[in-house]
Amino acid sequence: MVTVDGKEQKDTRLFRHLKKWLEKAVMDFEMIEEGDRVLVGLSGGADSFVLLDLLDSPMIFVPKFSFVAVNIDMGFDPSYMSYDTLGKHLRENNYAYVMEKTDIGVAAHSDFNKKNPCFLCSRLRRKRIFEIAAAERCNKIAFAHHRDDVVETLLINMFYGREISTMMPRQRIFGGRMHIIRPLVYLREELVKKYCRERQFPVVENRCPSAKTSKRIYVKNLLDELTKNNKKIRENIFKAMSHVRPDYLLPLSKKM
Ligand code: SF4
């Protein structure tokens, strides 16, 4: 535990704020039930460290559950430095964990698939995560997507997928045998990153060659630009997803 002036960093105002909203999201969307076993995805990015840390804190309202942290190394770093860093963090904090070295990221960028590496990459990674969840007897899979990810996904799906949809806070998969949950759904990215800095988590660099050129980065930059004129733009888009007025959309039968 990191301390400043002898005080545990975890009990900060920011921690309490994030924890309160995480618990609210978990309760609002019934993400966790008594006895659940949750696979917590740990990519090594700030968001995933924060998710793991917040779930590993005493909960006031959330029923008792157990969890296992899972990292899938995508194979971008041949020295596996980030793999070792994550392993050290997990061991030092006594987490139950599974780590796996793969070549998923590299394969997704091979010549036959250069045009759309993200599609294959996320598909293969998901597949492996589902397999590990089954092997670890997890019925919930927690991803560290926050409010900004949900907003960006809505725009990506509209801009490139011609549909109005986004990531769901709780998503039923395999006929209800498992659920994907997103406990950070109410949290702003800015605060998640701030908490990560506050706790000095050993964030590892994302070495994916597509990381800086993805559609997500384009949409993120676009939203940053729009935020200069309207600071509430992300919040407004997020809230708009709960205020849908179907009568003012195009009729479903009119295919275009
Ligand atoms: S940005 Fe890189 S790591 Fe992320 S999904 Fe795309 S290819 Fe995979």
Percent of the chain at pLDDT exceeding 70? 95
Non-local CB neighbours of 188 within 8 Å, separated by 6+ positions: 146, 147, 148, 234
Does residue 249 come out as left (phi exceeding 0), alpha (psi in the -120 to 50 range) or beta? beta
Does ligand 1 have an atom closer than 6 angstroms to the CB of 72? no
pLDDT of 8 reads 53
Query: Average pLDDT, stretch 167-177?
Result: 96
Q: Report whether residue 213 contacts ligand 1, using a CB cutoff of 6 Å.
A: no
Q: What pLDDT digit, counting tens, does each position of 97-120 carry? A: 999 999 898 888 887 777 788 888
Please report the pLDDT score of residue 9 as a whole number: 57
The preferred substitution site among 82, 208, 215 for testing ligand 1, maximizing ligand atoms within 8 Å of CB, is 208
For residues 152-171, average pLDDT: 96
Mean pLDDT of 64-84: 92
Q: Best mutation site among 74, 128, 145, 167 for ligand 1, i.e. most ligand atoms within 8 A of its Cβ?
A: 74
Query: 117 CB under 6 A from ligand 1?
Result: yes
Domain boundaries, the chain: 8-244
Strands 178-181 and 37-41: unpaired
Nearest to 151 by CA among 226, 205, 247, 41: 226
Cβ(82) to ligand 1 under 6 A? no
> Which among 212, 140, 219, 151 has a CA at the least distance from the CA of 174?
140
DSSP letters for 215-250: HHHHHHHHHHHHHTT-TTHHHHHHHHTT---GGGS-
117 Cα–ligand 1 center, Å: 7
The whole-number pLDDT of residue 213 equals 76
- Where do we find the tokens 């296992």? 68
Burial of 197 (0-12, 13-18, 19+ CB in 10 A): exposed
The hierarchical CATH code for the domain 8-244 is 3.40.50.620
- pLDDT tens, residue by residue, 11-48: 899 999 999 999 999 999 999 999 999 999 999 999 99
pTM of the model: 0.92
Average pLDDT, the chain: 92
Distance 190 CA to ligand 1 centre (A): 21
Q: Which residue has the tokens 């535990």?
A: 1
Nearest CA to ligand 1 atom 6: 118
The reply to whether ligand 1 has any atom less than 6 angstroms from the CB of 14 is: no
Atom of ligand 1 nearest to the CA of 118: 6
Lowest mean pLDDT among 11-15, 150-154, 167-171: 11-15
More confident residue, 56 or 76: 56
pLDDT value of residue 7: 45
Protein residue with its CA nearest to atom 3 in ligand 1: 208
Instruction: Please indicate whether residue 122, judged by its CB atom, sits closer than 6 Å to ligand 1.
Output: yes
